[in-house]
Structure 1
Amino acid sequence: MIEAYSFGKMRIQGKDYTQDLKIIKGGVVPRWWRKSGHSVETDDVRDILEAAPDILILGKGRPGVMQSTPELRALLQQKGIELVEAGTDKALEEFNRRFSSGENVAAGFHLTC
């Protein structure tokens, strides 16, 4: 599904995105803006939580500045949602692998730092 990534740019199904984004149920939600910049809080992924994925993958950027908050990690654990956090390069590989195998996966990708 994700075809390419370079610093500040991601190509998904032939379309280029230059701002952070989320993928929920196979659809792209562009222009993802978090309340606290490089911290991912529960409110930042409310739409993902409502979609009830089994897995949430967070692409932390390059080199990986973005982080989930302890509160979000606790909520995901409580809901039984697996969290995978990695640099965006690795996170997109993991997303593509799991999405193509039919797993119920959602993602948020930071495209820069």
Structure 2
Amino acid sequence: MIDDYAFGRITIEGRVYTKDVLLLPGEEVHSPWWRREGHSLDPADLEALLEDPPETLVIGTGFYGNMDVPEKTLKALRDKGVEPRVARTTQAVEELNRLMRTSARIAAALHLTC
């Protein structure tokens, strides 16, 4: 579960992260999580996640929503049976916490800043 999120900072299970995070099912956190192109999410950026795809991937596009999620990325997720949910990171964190109460096969890719 996400304890708290503010611009550039997220707390997961009591641990603070200041770099973008990829949260895999089972609450395994990869941080810093880097993308090929800083403000665009490419399918290759999700390789670790797609090795054992979750049911749902919550994508946080940043505090102001500046990270782009191209259609090719959404298609790659759907082709693997993953339901993408895209929102600004504040709303994505709320959605993630809600979903984690009902399913263990939830993952998240969260951009923490812009």
TM norm structure 1: 0.95
Please state how far the C-alpha of 1:103 moved relative to its aligned partner. Answer: 4.2
Gaps spanning 5+ residues in structure 2: where?
none
The residue number in structure 2 matching 1:93 is: 94
Letter in 2 for 1:104: R
1:1-113 aligned at under 5 Å gives the runs 1-25=1-25, 26-113=27-114
Distance 1:112 1:3 in 2: 17
TM norm structure 2: 0.94
Distance 1:46 1:24 in 2: 11
| Percent of matched pairs sharing the same residue | 38
Q: How many residues align?
A: 113
SS of corresponding position for 1:68: coil
Contact 2:55 2:82 in 1 (8 A): yes
SS of corresponding position for 1:62: coil
Gaps spanning 5+ residues in structure 1: where?
none
SS of corresponding position for 1:67: coil
Distance 2:52 2:78 in 1: 16
Contact 1:24 1:51 in 2 (8 A): no
1:10-50 CA distances to partner (integer Å, 9 max, x unpaired)? 00111110000110011111101100111110110011111
